[in-house]
Amino acid sequence: MIDEHVAAIRDGHTTLGIELGSTRIKAVLIGPDHAPLATGSHSWDNQFVDRIWTYSQEAIWAGLQDCYASLAAVVADRYGIELTSCGAMGVSGMMHGYLAFDAADELLVAFRTWRNTMTERASTELTALFGYKVPQRWSIAHLYQAVLNDEPHVSRIAYLTTLSGYVHWQLTGEKVVGVGDASGMFPIDAKSRTYDETMVTQFDRLVADRGHDWRLTALLPKPLVAGEPAGRLSESGARLLDPTGTLNPGIPMCPPEGDGGTGMVATNAVAPLTGNVSAGTSIFATVALDHMPSGDHPELDFANTPAGDPVAMVACNNGASELNSWAGLFVDFAAMIGADVSEGRIFELLFQRALDGDPDAGGLLAYNYLSGEHITGVNEGRPLFVRTPDSRFTLANFMRSQLYAALGTLHLGMQALRSAGVRPASMFAHGGMFRTAGVAQRFLAAAIDAPVSVGHLAGEGGAWGIALLAAYALERVPGQDLASFLADKVFVTSTVDSVQPNPADVVGFEAFMRRFTAGLAIERSAIESI
Q: Where are the domains of the chain?
A: 268-318+413-499, 321-406+503-529
> In the chain, what is the straight-line distance between the N-terminal and C-terminal CA atoms, in Å?
58
Nearest to 453 by CA among 275, 312, 282: 275
Residue 50 CA to residue 455 CA, distance in Å, equals 41
Residue 16 CA to residue 89 CA, distance in Å, equals 4
Q: Which DSSP state fits 279?
A: E
Question: pLDDT at position 418, please?
Answer: 86
Residue 180 CA to residue 193 CA, distance in Å, equals 10
Nearest to 55 by CA among 139, 105, 108, 111: 111
Residue 248 CA to residue 239 CA, distance in Å, equals 9
Strand-pair partners of 29:
16, 38
Per-residue pLDDT of the chain (530 residues; tens, 9 = 90+): 678 999 999 999 999 999 999 889 999 999 999 999 999 999 999 999 999 999 999 999 999 999 999 999 999 999 999 999 999 999 999 999 999 999 999 999 999 998 898 999 999 999 999 999 999 999 999 999 999 999 999 999 999 999 999 999 999 999 999 999 999 999 999 899 999 999 999 999 999 999 899 999 999 999 999 999 999 999 999 999 999 999 999 999 999 999 989 989 988 899 988 898 988 888 989 999 988 877 777 888 899 999 999 999 898 989 999 999 999 999 999 999 999 999 999 999 999 999 999 999 999 999 999 999 989 999 899 999 999 999 999 999 999 999 999 999 999 999 988 888 888 877 898 877 888 989 999 999 999 998 999 876 545 678 999 999 999 999 999 999 999 999 999 988 777 889 999 999 999 999 999 999 999 999 999 999 99
Question: pLDDT at position 1, please?
Answer: 64
Residue 451 CA to residue 423 CA, distance in Å, equals 12
SS3 track for 403-436: HHHHHHHHHHHHHHHHHCCCCCCEEEEECHHHCC
Dihedral sign of CA atoms 492, 495, 500, 506 in order: negative
Question: pLDDT at position 357, please?
Answer: 98
Q: 3-state class of 367 per DSSP?
A: strand
C-alpha radius of gyration, the chain, whole number? 22
Q: Which DSSP state fits 502?
A: P
Question: pLDDT at position 403, please?
Answer: 97
**Global pTM?**
0.83
Q: Tell me the Ramachandran region of residue 173: left when phi exceeds 0, alpha when psi lies from -120 to 50, beta otherwise.
A: left
Residue 256 carries which side chain, given as an amino acid letter?
A: P
Please work out, in degrees rounded to the nearest 5, the angle formed at the alpha carbon of residue 39 by the alpha carbons of 283 and 431: 15
Q: φ and ψ at 274, to 5 degrees?
A: -100, 155
Dihedral sign of CA atoms 260, 266, 270, 271 in order: negative
Q: Which DSSP state fits 112?
A: B
Residues making up the chain, counted from first to last: 530
Structural fold of domain 268-318+413-499: Nucleotidyltransferase; domain 5 (3.30.420)
Residue 89 burial (10 A CB sphere; 0-12, 13-18, 19+): buried
Dihedral sign of CA atoms 529, 376, 447, 269 in order: negative
